[in-house]
Amino acid sequence: MQQFRDLEPMEAEGRRQAVEGRPTPEMQCAGCGCKVGSGTLDRVLQRLKQSDWPQREEVLIGLDAPDDAAVVQVPGDRVLVQTIDYFRALVNEPYLFGQIATNHCLSDLFAMGAEPQSALAIATLPRAIESKQEETLYALMAGAIDVLNQANAVLIGGHTIEGTELAFGLTCNGFAQRDRLLRKSGMQIGDALILTKAIGTGTLFAADMRLQAKGRWIEGAIASMLQSNQAAAIVLQAHHATACTDVTGFGLLGHLAEMVQASGVAATVDLGLIALLEGAAETATQGILSSLHWQNFRADRFVNPEARQHSHYPLLFDPQTAGGLLASVPSEEAIACLETLHTKGYTDSRIIGRVIGRVEQPSDQPPIRIDIDS
């Protein structure tokens, strides 16, 4: 009881000192010190040249005339598709992180066949002097806006706070025709499974944090994360994809498991056909795995046990940042779809498996068979 009565004061997070003509407080309280100052935000928005952003007539109130909230008109013939992602920085360059995070956040829209329209940002900035925070926020948002502009989407608002490390995310809004939405369900017997990017970002960045990754491995992973899924989604729709999802935090097997369960089907995957980022096989073989890997490994129950002997097997559970799209495509269109993806720059795209039958529930057989012969 004494511990609840004789309380220690909040620990000071910094000494009182003159910073840009103003003293810093002894402590950062969540009630006020957590929020980034309005002056910093105003200067960053002025530097970002909003006149260069795409103009969307559906945005009735946005950052060109800020109010308490943004207002968007939803066209009567389309549905609104929304998604949100937020995570801490995995690279120490704010501009690059802004690009990667925005690609990651937009991918859910692409996976569902939606056209990006607008986004709301949320950023956590490390505590620092005002000028340093301004530069960090400017670089972060410049990277995000560059990617949004490429997708013809506009930033319409956001929120910033202070914290111990840089983190960023977006709520992304998109429009789609109701009858053209892609879902995780919808896979048909005989469909080919197409994966548009190589996998391995989780193990590679885990290795990088342990100083066990080669520079070219990380550069290759970053290049993959910077590649938008937008053009790939258009190709998949043009070839009548029956189902689609983006491969991110749950790993390839976790996301495939969601698809086969939602569709009530079984699938086979050839482990030897899956493209791997350079270095991923080496780091995974050394047992260097993402902290989320072991939670993802619970999806092991969906797979035939003999697949576990393959050295690449752990990579099926590797969480991805800004990973590729996984789609089922009618078999008669699969080759043409793959060739088009290659011409569009998705050179690591592969046909990795097939939908092989229906699954009656309950079933004693795992719905995903991993072929390890090749």
CATH code (residue 89): 3.30.1330.10
DSSP secondary structure letter of residue 317:
G
Sign of the torsion angle spanned by Cα atoms 3, 7, 8, 13: positive
pLDDT class of 31 with cuts at 50, 70, 90: low
Mean pLDDT, the chain, integer? 89
pLDDT of res. 15: 43
List Cα–Cα distances, 226 to 83, 90, 139, 171, 265, in angstroms. Answer: 19, 13, 16, 19, 33
The answer as to whether 20 is a domain residue is no
Q: Is the pLDDT of residue 16 over 60?
A: no
pLDDT of res. 36: 73
Range with lowest mean pLDDT among 29-38, 46-55, 58-67, 230-239: 29-38
Taking the C-alpha atoms of residue 34 and residue 24, their distance in angstroms, rounded to an integer, is 13
pLDDT of res. 14: 46
Helix (H) or strand (E) holding 93: none
Domain boundary, last residue among 144, 179, 214 = 179
The answer as to whether 283 is a domain residue is yes
The answer as to whether 246 is a domain residue is yes
Shared domain check, 252 and 191:
yes
pLDDT tens digits for range 112-140:
999 999 999 999 999 888 899 999 999 99
Domain boundary, last residue among 150, 179, 208 = 179
Q: What is the reported pTM?
A: 0.88
Shared domain check, 204 and 143:
no
pLDDT of res. 244: 98
Active site residue ranges = 32
The set of residues, in sequence order, having a beta carbon less than 8 Å from that of 48 and lying 6+ positions away, is 138, 141, 142, 145
Shared domain check, 137 and 220:
no
Shared domain check, 366 and 227:
yes
- Rounded mean pLDDT, 249-276: 95
Range with lowest mean pLDDT among 10-14, 73-77, 145-149, 294-298: 10-14
pLDDT of res. 359: 85
Taking the C-alpha atoms of residue 313 and residue 286, their distance in angstroms, rounded to an integer, is 13
Q: Is the pLDDT of residue 75 over 60?
A: yes
pLDDT of res. 43: 84
Shared domain check, 133 and 190:
no
pLDDT of res. 19: 47
- How many domains would you assign to the chain? 2
Domain boundary, last residue among 160, 179, 198 = 179
- Rounded mean pLDDT, 51-63: 80
Shared domain check, 349 and 204:
yes
Residue 140's domain comprises 32-179
